[in-house]
Amino acid sequence: FAASVLAMAPVVKLGYWKMRGLASVVRMMLEYAEVEYEDKMYDPIKDREEWFDKDKPELLAKNPLANLPYLVDGETVVCQTNAIFLHLGEKFGWNGNSVPETLLILQLLDEIYDLRNEMIQLVYSFKKVSRTEDEYLANANEQISKSCPGYYAKFEKVLERGGKKYFVADTLMTPDFHIWEIIDQYEALARKISKESSLKDFPRLEAFYKAFPEEP
């Protein structure tokens, strides 16, 4: 007997492919909030039938937009990455305390998603951008030397203007999690191809990157 995807404890359930990907940010948010949750990871090969033929149809009955990642929170089914971030932010008080703060949060979430999509072009073979080792190395070097500094300069300016420890406040808010995750991915990429960190010219952003994992 297979239990329903909507009827399994604990109350919060996160579903995504068995990889770091988009769900890594949701995991960090849930861990930081000390929420008990089930981390359902679908193997892209072995569990395709479980996802497409069993779990997804059940979720579609609750939310016509059902896809991966998904978050089941009691009777609520949330899909689409930024929507999940904002749902958790609302639940835990991380979406700002004023209209200007909330607007900044929304803009930051969109901006870091743009940089995340640059990484997707590099690492996902189905994009047919990095089809060979030489193409991969050329594209990786270009992202570290050009794409990252362009985005990082914007984030550095936001931190400078705000004068806070993090992007919106002196405590973590919703966009901080995704921004840290993408920077960490690019730091790993720089190490892999023996390139210097793109953070070296952005002291405030580098301080943010170092401070984030020190949070209890």
pLDDT tens digits, one per residue of 161-195: 999 999 999 999 999 999 999 999 999 999 999 99
- Distance between CA atoms of residues 87 and 80, nearest Å: 11
Predicted model pTM: 0.92
Which tokens sit at 197? 């960190």
Mean pLDDT of 131-145: 89
Which tokens sit at 26? 């949701």
**pLDDT reported for residue 6:** 44
The residues pairing with 37 across neighbouring beta strands, listed in sequence order, are: 12
HSE at residue 139, side-chain half, CA atoms within 13 A, is 18
**pLDDT reported for residue 122:** 84
- pLDDT of 9 > 60? The answer is no
- Could you tell me which residue, 121 or 207, shows the higher pLDDT? 207
Q: What is the 3-state secondary structure of 199-214?
A: HHHCHHHHHHHHHHHH
- Burial (CB count <10 Å: 0-12, 13-18, 19+), residue 154: middle
Which tokens sit at 208? 């943010």
- pLDDT of 86 > 60? The answer is yes
**pLDDT reported for residue 60:** 97
SS3 for 66? coil
**pLDDT reported for residue 152:** 98
- Distance between CA atoms of residues 84 and 95, nearest Å: 12
**pLDDT reported for residue 3:** 46
Decide: 37 and 61 in contact? Cβ < 8 Å.
no
Which tokens sit at 31? 């861990």
Q: How sure is the predictor about 126, in pLDDT bands with cuts at 50, 70 and 90?
A: low
Sign of CA dihedral 36, 86, 104, 116: positive
